[in-house]
Amino acid sequence: MRDFQGYGRDLPAFRWPGNAGLAVSFVMNFEEGAEFSVADGDVRNEGVYEVIDPRAGWDPCIDSHFEYGTRTAWWRIADTFDRFDAPFTLSSCGRAVERSPWLAQDAVARGHEVSAHGYRWQSHADMGMEEEEALILASLAAITQATGQRPVGWHTRSACTPNTRALLVKHGFLYDSDAYNDDTPYVVPVDGRRHLVLPYAFDTNDMQFQHTQRFDTAASFAEYVCDAADWLAREGAHAPRMLSVGLHLRMIGRPARMKALEQILQHLRTKEGVWIATRAQIARHWLAVHGGA
């Protein structure tokens, strides 16, 4: 059943660590190698990217665009976060982790969270329960095997199914991010249990460089994200707020866009009342202090 009211004006009395009013979650999407590619034996290539002349057969152009994320972008992105001592959540497709386990391992060594983003980079819409469960378990196993740490968070590409949350609860996930309807975490009932939702966002997201060209320069993206942080921090003086900043290795990691990430981190590190945290840290703090309410 859809909920159009949410908290309304009755937001919970709650503070983030350090008495912060705003929790900022950087989500680094790691999908490279999990996308559809004829070169990998798939019947089609991934259709979402900056390539304007898609091919039905082997497409080295789009393949190499994805490879840029692991070959080059990861190192400059990870080193930039290190400079600001800022943790992020590496939202990882299981197959991407299988093909580049070193990347997930490096993320863990640097203190970041590795969460699950499906097995392949695909929507789960219209999947049957058995197929979806198999993919959830495959993603969980791939990440656990590579990192030695079991993922506690989940985010489906595009649409989930009516069974997704029940399967996540069944297999012990702490939270999911399959919602875009709030600026504050909330719980939902799932099979007699209360399950935590950490809403995600598509506007404060570097995907807008490619899908809509809403952001045409690093400055425009940085300004937009910083404006969102300023507004939510102001609201956070009275109620707990959360900002998700969605990033992708092959997108934000391009040289002309990296200045945006640097400016955003600089802005947040000089702003009072802001806690930069992984989604697992946010979830655990919420559950520890606020319980399942």
Residue 195 lies in a domain: yes
3-state secondary structure 132-175: HHHHHHHHHHHHHHHHCCCCCEECCECCCCCCHHHHHHHCCCCE
Scored b (16 or more CB within 10 A) or e, 219-238 reads: eebbbbbbebbeebbeebee
Q: In total, how many domains does the chain have? A: 1
Answer whether residue 6 is part of any domain.
no
Q: Is residue 188 part of a domain?
A: yes
Pairwise CA distance, residues 281 & 155, whole Å: 16
- Cα–Cα distance, 188 to 181 (Å, whole number): 13
244: three-class secondary structure by DSSP: strand
Q: Does the residue 11 lie in any domain?
A: no
Whether 218 contacts 260, CB under 8 Å = yes
Q: Given this model, what pLDDT does residue 293 score?
A: 55
Residue 3 lies in a domain: no
**pLDDT score, position 49:** 67
CB 91 within 8 A of CB 30: yes
Q: Which amino acid is at 230?
A: D
Residue 145 in domain: yes
The domain that holds 140 is classified in CATH as: 3.20.20.370
* Residue 28 belongs to a domain: yes
- The position carrying tokens 């319980």 is 291
Burial tier of 10 (Cβ tally within 10 Å: 0-12, 13-18, 19+): exposed
Q: Enter the pTM of the model.
A: 0.95
Determine contact, residues 153/128, Cβ cutoff 8 Å: no
**Can you give the residue range of the structural domain that contains 177?**
17-290
Regions of the chain short of the pLDDT cut 70: 49-53, 211, 291-293
Task: Map tokens 């079991």 to a residue.
Answer: 150
pLDDT tens-digit map of 130-182: 999 999 999 999 999 999 999 999 999 989 999 999 999 999 999 999 999 99
Is residue 1 included in any domain, yes or no?
Answer: no
